[in-house]
Amino acid sequence: MKKIILNFETKRHNFSELIQAALNKGILNFLVSKDTFSEFEHIERAVLYTKNPIIPSKILILDNKEKFKEILDKEGIPKQKIGFYMELESKEHEKQIVDLAKSGYIDFIIVSAKNWKIIPFENLIAELHLNNTDLIAAVEDSREAELMFKTLEIGVDGILLTPRNTNDIIKLKNLLYNTFHIEISHGKIVRIENIPEAERVCIDSTSLLKLGEGFMVGSTATGFCLIHSETIESQFVATRPFRVNAGDVSAYVLVPDEDHEKIYHTKYLSELKGGDKIFAVNTKGEARIVSIGRVKIETRPMVRFELEVLQGDKKILMSYIGQNAETVCLIGVNGKAISVIEIKVGDEVLVHIGPGATHFGTAIKERIIEK
């Protein structure tokens, strides 16, 4: 698990609110000072880091090699965990960080790079990813944290950040979850009708999608069909493994929510644009977040499917509209893609039962009728 350390050396106006938000999200690593230590010393779960050797913390951060050498000469291998903080401004600093990390006496090293960031951290990750010393990146915000977690795919072992508001903490926590789960059900096709023309939306992601993977799309918020990516070989058209021919402009699609506990909210396909995030979901309901590179909207012949799902003794109705073309596929209950051209009444496909009522994409508890 990647590590998040929150810098609480200084009391901000929303200090107590930030601490509570961190605890609520299960973030327990805090960097404290003599001014803030008293706020944390009675929190049993808290793991405290400090740069002040007087504070009774189990984890001490040094930034001076001479002080480090003095501790080693005096105590030998320290009983408390020792970390080191270094500014990275040159290639020589990079070499010093690697040497220090490989010394065998440091548990972790926090690196702050103000100018060049990506290349130096790529070099450090490559050098230290098999080393026992954790590489922690000091970052400015959640975007930079995400970049550090994904550099060279392996990423750094953790990040240090000074949160400005509770949203920073929520976004950081969400970065630790690479996969999510979307509940999968079986929906039976009960009606099919042609629509002569409509605007359809193709979504091109910046990631390669896999066989059995696609986006969750539905005409109503009661339910969503799993629409397969264009990863299937054909003699008539080349694969586009980044693309899902998703549906008509009015359809909903599942996108990640900023609050991980809510998992998702919905957007209209017509709202999507390059740079947005979306859930790629497989036949087991395992979902990952991918970015959208571009969205293409064009007029095409369409086909509309009405489906029903049995949930206990309750019958849930949903619908989906997609382009009337061989390359547009839903996924059968056997996990195999099935073209909309081949689907017939009585067939069963993979679906997700939605929240029902939504307001601007967020689920709400109210009575609503969609048909």
Examine the pLDDT at 363 and tell me if it is beyond 80. Answer: no
pLDDT band at residue 177 using 50, 70 and 90 as cut-offs:
low
Q: Check residue 359 and give its pLDDT.
A: 40
| pLDDT recorded at residue 78 | 59
| Model pTM score | 0.67
How far is the C-alpha of 104 from the C-alpha of 147, rounded, in Å? Answer: 28
Separation in Å, CA 148 to CA 122, 124, 306: 9, 11, 45
Residue 161: beta bridge partners?
Answer: 6, 139
Instruction: Pull the structure tokens for residue 177.
Output: 């979850």
> If you average pLDDT over residues 183-206, what whole number do you get?
97
Q: Which residues of 88-103 are buried (b: 16+ CB within 10 A; e: fewer)?
A: beeeeebeebbebbee
Give the tens place of pLDDT for each residue, 62-95. Answer: 987 777 666 666 665 556 788 999 999 999 999 9
Q: Residue 363 and residue 360: Cα distance in Å, rounded?
A: 9
Measured over the CA atoms of residue 50, residue 54, residue 59 and residue 62, the dihedral's sign is positive
Digit-coded pLDDT (tens) for 121-160: 999 999 998 888 999 999 999 999 999 998 988 899 999 9
Name the packing angle between helices 142-150 and 166-175 (round to 10°): 10
Kindly tell me if the per-residue pLDDT of 9 is higher than 60.
yes
User: With contact defined as beta carbons under 8 Å apart, do 117 and 142 qualify?
Assistant: no
pLDDT at 191: 97
**3-176 fold:** TIM Barrel (3.20.20)
- pLDDT at position 37 over 90: yes
- Does position 20 have pLDDT exceeding 70, yes or no? yes
Q: What integer pLDDT is reported at residue 267 of this predicted model?
A: 95
* DSSP track, 223-278: EEEEEEPB-S--SSS--BTTEEEEEETT-EEEEE-SSGGG-EEEEEGGG--TT-EE
Q: What is the mean pLDDT of the chain?
A: 90
* 273 CB neighbour count, 10 Å cutoff: 9
Q: If 0-12 CB within 10 Å is exposed, 13-18 middle and 19+ buried, where does residue 196 land?
A: exposed
Residues of the chain with CATH 3.20.20.390: 3-176
CA geometry: angle at 261 spanning 249 and 350, to 5°?
Answer: 50
Q: What DSSP assignment string belongs to 15-68?
A: HHHHHHHHHHTT--EEEE-TTTGGGTTT-TT-EEEES-TTS--SEEEE--HHHH
Structure tokens at 275: 């740079």
**For residues 259-271, average pLDDT:** 86
The band of 248, judged by pLDDT with boundaries at 50, 70 and 90, is very high
Contact 302, 198 (CB under 8 A): yes
335: number of Cβ within 10 Å = 12
Predicted confidence band at 361 (pLDDT cuts at 50, 70, 90)?
A: very low
Q: Provide φ and ψ at 319, rounded to 5°.
A: -150, 160
> pLDDT value at position 25?
87
pLDDT tier at 357 (50, 70, 90 boundaries)? very low
How does residue 263 score in pLDDT terms, banded at 50, 70 and 90?
confident
